Amino acid sequence: MQFVRISEIQVEPSRFRKTIEEEPLQELMDSILEHGLLHPLVVRREGLKLISGERRLRAIDRLYSQGKTIRFGDAEVPQGCVPVLVVDRPELQVRALELEENLRRVDLPWQERVAAIAAIHEMKRAESEDWTLKDTADLISEMSGAKASVSTVRQAVILNRYL
């Protein structure tokens, strides 16, 4: 892993992703500010062509333009840079990796989703006795971009006891 200046990374116009929606990008920016960057971008050694992480790249670039600081792990990322993994792969393999990243996203199995919702609720309850099921539903809706109901959270908390 190394830090590379954003201006040195090439984003090919032939990439599969053509649209980056504003609201999910803003949510990613908020997440990066709160938790730091969790995964480095992946670039091809030849020309530093982006393989994966275009949304992260755009989010970080926008955060820098707002004067924000980025963290990756315990380290502060140098201004104007992003952490990257540099790989040597032929063009065909690069395109396959890009496609794989965009198509092979798998949602959590229901048991793991239930456990995650219950864990979030219990952690927040430990922080504040006033935390409610509705607060958890609102938080999950905000984090996932999909509406979560109080009923969903209640069911998850109950079901998790039996898993």
Does 115 lie in the same domain as 98? no
Residue that is last in its domain, among 66, 86, 103: 103
Distance CA 110, CA 114 (A): 6
Reported confidence tier of residue 105, pLDDT bands at 50, 70, 90: low
Reported confidence tier of residue 110, pLDDT bands at 50, 70, 90: confident
Reported confidence tier of residue 152, pLDDT bands at 50, 70, 90: very high
Give pLDDT, residue 133.
96
Does 126 lie in the same domain as 96? no
Q: Note every long-range contact of 58-67, with CB atoms under 8 Å and residues 24 or more positions apart, other chains counting.
A: 58/20, 58/25, 59/25, 59/28, 59/29, 59/32, 60/6, 60/32, 61/6, 62/25, 62/29, 63/29, 63/32, 63/33, 64/6
Does 124 lie in the same domain as 97? no
Does 69 lie in the same domain as 31? yes
Q: What average pLDDT does this structure show over 96-122?
A: 79
Does 57 lie in the same domain as 23? yes
Render pLDDT for 81-96 as a digit per residue (tens, 0 to 9).
999 999 987 777 777 7
Residue that is last in its domain, among 103, 127, 152: 103
Does 65 lie in the same domain as 26? yes
Does 117 lie in the same domain as 67? no
Does 97 lie in the same domain as 33? yes
SS3 50: strand
Determine the structural domain holding residue 118 and report its residue range: 110-160
Residue that is last in its domain, among 103, 118, 143: 103
71-110 as b/e, with b when 16 or more CB fall inside 10 Å?
Answer: ebeeeebeeebbbbebeebeeeebbebbeebeeeeeeeee
Does 83 lie in the same domain as 16? yes
| pTM, to two decimals | 0.69
Does 90 lie in the same domain as 18? yes
Tell me, what CATH number does 29's domain have? 3.90.1530.10
Does 96 lie in the same domain as 17? yes
Distance CA 107, CA 111 (A): 11
How many structural domains is the chain composed of? 2
Does 156 lie in the same domain as 87? no
Give pLDDT, residue 30.
92
